[in-house]
Structure 1
Amino acid sequence: MTSDPYLPPDDIVRLRDTAVEQGLADPSLRRLLFEGILPKYRGSLPLLAAPGPQVQSDLNEMNRVERLVDGTVPLAVWLRNASDQLTDAAARDVFLKALDEVVRDSAGEPDVAPDVPTGETKEEIVFRDDTVPFGFLSGGALAGASVARVKVLPYEGGALLQPVALPHNGTGWLIAPDLLVTNHHVVNARKRTAGERQVAAPADLQLQARGSRSRFDYEDGSADDDAAAEEAHASGLVAWDEELDYAVLRLTGAPSRPCLRVATEPLTVVSDTPVAVNIIQHPGGEPKRIALRNNLAFDADERDLRYFTDTRGGSSGSPVLTDAWTVVALHRGTRRVSDVSFQGKSTAFVNVGTQLSAIMEHLREHSPQVHTEIAAAQSELARRARPQEV
């Protein structure tokens, strides 16, 4: 689907020059750089004799395509593949910065203020017991059953977006038996253009929610697994907020799986004592993955939680969980920052999630019925978790 370019011409030239300097223009690597992109699309691209112009042509073509019929963004996949081939930190950073921009724009992700102190240093954590109870593993498996890949088709004016409505990927999870939480920008299903967010009209937003498909138990890449995974439909969007970037969808029929526990108070982080968090996600709409243990929350306030971890487009809407598998934040965005050292690395991803306590407070004020329903489900979870009296 042709759309406004993701990157300006100067960025494309910088990527081409870096690719040539690092040997990525070698024709033998072209197939590797297109790994994960539909072969039919790759076969439609012009073929040139000279390596440098070929890379330039490929980048220009992909830069004009919003996404393919399977929901993938070809430029994002190509940039990720290219960065994986590089060991030079400066060159790799050129591709990763471009990748971050493409991923944010393609998802319509709102800006996340990168208010990270420059020069901040985090030491290796080696002087405390970092083991967890063995039950941590079974708890994670149970929590993962409540997490789904979400696909949303864009509507405009009451009809599927023309000329072709292509799916946007995200992650969602159960907060009550038939209520699924994800990001507002996932349900909004619009890319950013020239740095500006496109916002779906309220009626179209509801159509997109009702047309969404959430797959639970999508855990490996086989076609059989994808076809067999449980798919939930939604009857509508019952609560949302653009600023906090959350959306609550009503699923048609309660899925046969538990909901996740949510924190009632904001997670606090003491200076120089990061807290380990865990993120269950569907990066890029791919099978379920989990980021464990070394994903440290290093800063927090009443609304936002900031942490280092590995996420990608499609991870938006993932639950950020403590080691007790309680959701403390709703993952909403990522930034790559410079001049921040994390466990010996000169650069790191800074991720931002909305504190669940802030979302619950917003629901209590603006959607009291939904808040009451969630609170009742959470109370039932707590009751079942208490030891039975003899």
Structure 2
Amino acid sequence: MTGGTGATGYLSREDILAVRDAALDAGLTDPAMRPLLFDGVMPRYRATLPLLPAPGLQVQSDLVEMNRVERLVDGSVPLETWLRNAVAQTTAAAPAAVLQRALDDVARDASGEPDVLADRPVPELKEEIVHRDDTVPFGFLRGGDAAGAAVARVKVPPYEGGEPLQPNGFPHSGTAWLVTPDLLVTNHHVVNARTASGGRRALAGPEDLLLQARGARARFDYESDDTETEEAAVRELAAHDAELDYAVLRLAEPSTRPVLRLAGRTLRVAAGDVVAVNIIQHPGGAPKRVALRNNLVFRADDRDLHYFTDTRSGSSGSPVLTDDWRVVALHRGTRRVEDVSFQGRDTAFVNVGTQFTAVMAHLAEHAPRVHAEIEAAQRGAAGAPV
């Protein structure tokens, strides 16, 4: 049912004790709170945890045990779920900050996100972000509905030495989307299917990476747990790059769905510009969600796009879309920032995506056939309604 995280786990011993102390300060050690903290954790796994008579020791024991588990057979990370619930139940600022920081570290390591955002000065956002006309044409909603049909939850089983890493699986979840009827785009670190440790991620060997890609399954129309939808199989890894953090998967059978259209230009943001983006995603491997327009770009260069939005582990690989529902970037992770204000409130995070023009330029040089295939599909989609 479970997979180990190795000798270190997600959090250090000092971090575990800090989370325990924060839980004590927040009143989360009350036995009545335990069911709320484990909401969303597989009951069969929870039943394996030792029960102790002292509430403080119980929380510490739970944390230590969960810290040893990389993920469960459903792909979930119990420590991440527990911490997310703990943050939701905490109102006091000091313990909430400790819990949130631990959650961020666990979520980032669980997703295998690479830590590539360099420290740079962060510009302040102007008051005009609030005082402006934020309405969009009604067709925006229809365009979003059409774009969502091309987005899927993808699960990738890890392999090592040509064999499944665990007998029962422990798949890594991400988001993927159609750029041609045959090709899905997601992050390299999603297909890499490795949990990061100490801010670094191990890389799967070339043969294991191919096996993981071929074992990936994409689930379209996953909008509710109440409805079963079919999963699409993957035939091969068509192209990939760890530095730009992209992977292109070829489906076993072409899809009849409309593909997402590419913006075709690098997004530029001048000082004072207010640019909103939209992210269709499967956070935590859960049903499809969308972050709409309250996601403002604050910095862009030839390779990276930085923006404020709500994402979670599992959102990796999501398309970052402009208001005309064209893909401008490939979402790849979240980075911590300090002394940054967004719409009048301090924020601890900024999201980062790879400009898709950078991905296309890399494909043109290193995988020209895939590049040509995407270009041809995009020309065919040019007349499709948004």
Same fold per superposition (TM over 0.5): yes
Tell me the distance in 1 between the aligned counterparts of 2:324 and 2:64. Answer: 47
* Equivalences for residues 249-264 of structure 1 within 5 A: 249-264=249-264
Q: Which residue of 2 aligns with 1:350?
A: 350
Tell me by how many angstroms 1:383 deviates. 3.5
Tell me the distance in 1 between the aligned counterparts of 2:150 and 2:72. Answer: 28
**8 Å contact 1:214–1:231 — kept in the other structure?**
yes
Q: Deviations over 1:288-316 (max 9, x none)?
A: 00001111111100000000000000000
Say which of 132, 145, 159 aligns to 1:141.
145
Tell me by how many angstroms 1:87 deviates. 2.0
Tell me the distance in 2 between the aligned counterparts of 1:53 and 1:154. Answer: 34
Q: Deviations over 1:192-222 (max 9, x none)?
A: 1233311111111111111100000000122
Q: What letter matches 1:159 in structure 2?
A: E
Say which of 16, 20, 25 aligns to 2:20.
16
Structure 2 portions without partners, runs of 5+: none
Change (3 A) 1:118 1:248: closer
Q: Which residue of 1 aligns with 2:338?
A: 338
Change (3 A) 1:160 1:257: same
Q: Which residue of 2 aligns with 1:117?
A: 121
Between 1:323-332 and 1:111-120, the stretch displaced more is 111-120
Structure 1 portions without partners, runs of 5+: none
Q: What letter matches 1:376 in structure 2?
A: A
Change (3 A) 1:272 1:304: same
Q: Which residue of 2 aligns with 1:322?
A: 322
Q: Which residue of 1 aligns with 2:4?
A: 2
Q: Deviations over 1:241-286 (max 9, x none)?
A: 0000000000011112111011221101122323110000000000
* 1:36 matches 2:36: no
Tell me the distance in 2 between the aligned counterparts of 1:129 and 1:51. Answer: 52
Tell me by how many angstroms 1:345 deviates. 1.2
Tell me by how many angstroms 1:118 deviates. 5.2
Q: Which residue of 2 aligns with 1:55?
A: 59
**8 Å contact 1:310–1:349 — kept in the other structure?**
no
Tell me the distance in 2 between the aligned counterparts of 1:134 and 1:3. Answer: 47
Q: Which residue of 2 aligns with 1:313?
A: 313
**8 Å contact 1:114–1:335 — kept in the other structure?**
no
Instruction: Tell me the TM-score normalized by structure 1.
Output: 0.95
Between 1:321-330 and 1:186-195, the stretch displaced more is 186-195
For the residue of structure 2 that corresponds to 1:86, the secondary structure is coil
Q: What letter matches 1:214 in structure 2?
A: A
**8 Å contact 1:155–1:165 — kept in the other structure?**
no
Q: Which residue of 1 aligns with 2:378?
A: 378
Q: Which residue of 1 aligns with 2:186?
A: 182
Between 1:254-263 and 1:142-151, the stretch displaced more is 254-263
Q: What letter matches 2:17 in structure 1?
A: V
Tell me the distance in 2 between the aligned counterparts of 1:119 and 1:378. Answer: 35
Tell me the distance in 2 between the aligned counterparts of 1:307 and 1:89. Answer: 25
Tell me the distance in 1 between the aligned counterparts of 2:191 and 2:260. Answer: 20
Q: Deviations over 1:319-372 (max 9, x none)?
A: 000000000000001023221111121124200000000000000011000000
Q: What letter matches 1:262 in structure 2?
A: L
> How many equivalent residue pairs?
382
Tell me by how many angstroms 1:121 deviates. 4.2
Q: Which residue of 2 aligns with 1:275?
A: 275
Tell me the distance in 1 between the aligned counterparts of 2:338 and 2:99. Answer: 14
Identity among equivalent positions (%) equals 65
Tell me the distance in 2 between the aligned counterparts of 1:124 and 1:169. Answer: 38
Between 1:118-127 and 1:11-20, the stretch displaced more is 118-127
Taking only aligned residues, the RMSD between alpha carbons, in angstroms, comes to: 1.5
Tell me by how many angstroms 1:24 deviates. 0.9
Say which of 192, 195, 202 aligns to 2:199.
195
**8 Å contact 1:334–1:350 — kept in the other structure?**
yes
**8 Å contact 2:130–2:343 — kept in the other structure?**
no
Tell me the distance in 2 between the aligned counterparts of 1:163 and 1:236. Answer: 22
Say which of 147, 155, 166 aligns to 1:151.
155
Change (3 A) 1:118 1:90: farther
Q: Deviations over 1:164-184 (max 9, x none)?
A: 531100000001111000000
Tell me by how many angstroms 1:163 deviates. 5.2
**8 Å contact 1:170–1:314 — kept in the other structure?**
yes
Q: What letter matches 1:254 in structure 2?
A: P
Change (3 A) 1:22 1:122: farther
Q: Which residue of 2 aligns with 1:165?
A: 169
Tell me the distance in 2 between the aligned counterparts of 1:137 and 1:333. Answer: 26
Q: Deviations over 1:55-110 (max 9, x none)?
A: 11111000010000100000000011101112223322211211111111112111
Tell me the distance in 2 between the aligned counterparts of 1:99 and 1:116. Answer: 24
